[in-house]
Amino acid sequence: MPTNRTKSKRTAAVKGELTPDQLEDLLRGYTLISPRRPVFKSEDERRKVWTRNYGYIMSLQNQKCRDESFGLNSQIDVYFALFARPEAWWRYESPEPRRMLAGDPAAIIPEDGLIKGVPRSYRSREAWDQMVFETERDFLIRHDLLTDLEKKQLKAEKKG
According to DSSP, residue 72 is labeled -
Query: What's the structural domain count of the chain?
Result: 1
- Residue 140 inside a domain? The answer is yes
Lowest mean per-residue pLDDT among 17-31, 92-106, 132-146: 17-31
Cβ-based neighbours of 145, under 8 Å, separated by 6 or more: 139
- Residue 121 inside a domain? The answer is no
Tens of pLDDT, residue by residue over 53-89, are 999 999 988 887 666 555 555 555 667 889 999 999 9
Average pLDDT on 38-56 reads 93
How far is the CA of 61 from the CAs of 58, 78, 129, 156, in angstroms? 6, 7, 29, 18
For residue 103, give the nearest of 83, 79, 127 by alpha carbon: 127
Question: What's residue 71's pLDDT?
Answer: 54
> Burial level of 23, CB count in 10 A (0-12/13-18/19+)?
buried
Question: What's residue 7's pLDDT?
Answer: 37
- Residue 89 inside a domain? The answer is yes
- Residue 32 inside a domain? The answer is yes
Tens of pLDDT, residue by residue over 108-121, are 999 999 999 999 99
- Residue 129 inside a domain? The answer is no
Burial 138-154 (b: 16+ CB within 10 A, else e): ebbbeeeebeeebeeeb
- Residue 36 inside a domain? The answer is yes
- Residue 150 inside a domain? The answer is yes
Which domain, by its residues, includes 85?
Answer: 20-99+134-159
- Residue 116 inside a domain? The answer is no
